[in-house]
Amino acid sequence: MYMGLIIQLVTGAVGGNIGGALFKNLSLGIVGDSVAGIVGGGIGGLVLQAVLGALGVDAGSGILVNVAGGGVGGIVVMAIVGIVKNAMMTQPHRESHS
């Protein structure tokens, strides 16, 4: 179990950095891409295992499932965080008047 999680987290970090290189306008920098990728790797691995389990596929400790889920999850979360960051940066600053 722990080995699968470690693979997901590591491939998530790699995926986050690959995503940052592919989508330069969404990149969060090396550390940001890595952290977002690690989070996405853990989530992506769990989601992929749950989906495959629901389909009746036994993917409990398959290394390819862990690598795929981690890598894709890392890219997806890095891209989502980059989109949100960019959207927040382009919003006009509003001052509250109480």
- pLDDT tens for residues 14-62? 999 999 999 999 999 999 999 999 999 999 988 888 888 788 777 656 8
- Tracing tokens 């550390």 back to the chain, one arrives at 31
Residue type, 49: Q
Rounded to two decimals, the pTM is: 0.82
Q: Which of 11, 26, 19 is nearest to 70 (CA)?
A: 11
61: tokens are: 């400790």
Residues 71 and 47 sit within 8 Å (Cβ to Cβ): no
The per-residue pLDDT for range 85-98, each reduced to its tens digit, is 999 888 776 666 65
The CA distance from 29 to 18, in Å, is 11
Q: Measure the CA–CA gap between 78 and 24, rounded to whole angstroms.
A: 11
